[in-house]
Amino acid sequence: MEALVKEIPPLVSSCFCSSAAFLGRSAEAVVFYAACPFFSKAEVYERAETEGIYYEGYLRNTVYVGRSWYGREVNRIGLTTNEDIRKGYKYMEFLVTKQHGLDDKVSTLPHPIVYRCIEDLQDPRHTWITHTQCSPVEEIKSENVVKTEYYKLHLIGMSFVKIQDRRTGRLMAEYRAISKYPYAGAPFYPFFTWLNWHGDMFQANQSNSCPEKSQFLTFQYEVLRVKK
């Protein structure tokens, strides 16, 4: 048997390994399309008006230390804070567990800290850009909380958003989505065509999301409206 294995040409061996990997990716595609209509959800049970939104979880748990356009050291929480200000909210609050320093090193904080972000001074040279500055605070002002989670298993990603009344814990809205990412490493072998695998391979290499348009970063705006 050992001699037989050694006599297998490298190209054929590579083809079989790649086809096995491809079958695995195709299986993930089958799982995605089967779960799509049952997994995805966007339900709003209650809406509220607020001056600002408090966030916990994925993509909003790291404070970035940087330099403002006027030279001062400032703290910011990712890119999503700018969108809140542009939509008319007066502030945003975040439960921060990590810090990204000026040296580009990321460190875990000794304990979680709540940051509140407000609009910063506008750069007269780039008036279309909205800047923010964030500072630690003792108490949370917002009455609601937006909790986000994200998990990835191989090529399948799952996103979760829960919006709750922060004081009572009452669920106000929930969102979940499932995504399939393309497998960039799948090669194409012409002799697979007679097995009708070409079409399946094409589908397995496409990026798809259910629902088709993601609301992972914007769902809260449908639930927590700007207070007038």
Q: What is the pLDDT of residues 38-93, one digit of tens each?
A: 788 999 999 999 999 999 999 899 999 988 888 888 899 976 668 999 999 999 99
Same domain, 87 and 136: yes
H or E segment to which residue 158 belongs: strand 156-165
Q: Would residue 2 count as lying in a domain?
A: no
CA distance 9 to 217: 50
If you average pLDDT over residues 92-106, what whole number do you get?
Answer: 94
The domain total for the chain is 2
Q: Would residue 25 count as lying in a domain?
A: yes
Q: Check pLDDT > 50 for residue 193.
A: no
Place of tokens 């966007």: 42
CA distance 209 to 201: 18
Same domain, 156 and 178: yes
Question: Which pLDDT value is given to residue 223?
Answer: 98
Q: Would residue 24 count as lying in a domain?
A: yes
Q: Would residue 130 count as lying in a domain?
A: yes
Q: In this structure, what token pair is assigned to residue 30?
A: 């089958």
Question: Which pLDDT value is given to residue 227?
Answer: 95
Give the domain range for residue 103: 60-141
Instruction: Out of 141, 166, 196, pick the residue that ends a domain.
Output: 141
Q: Check pLDDT > 60 for residue 2.
A: no
Q: Check pLDDT > 80 for residue 121.
A: yes
Strands 91-100 and 62-67: parallel
Place of tokens 């993930």: 28
Place of tokens 């990026």: 207
Q: What is the pTM of this model?
A: 0.76
- The highest-confidence range among 2-16, 18-32, 125-139, 197-211, by mean pLDDT, is 125-139
Q: Would residue 53 count as lying in a domain?
A: no
Q: Cβ(151)–Cβ(158) under 8 Å?
A: yes
Q: In this structure, what token pair is assigned to residue 2?
A: 């050992």
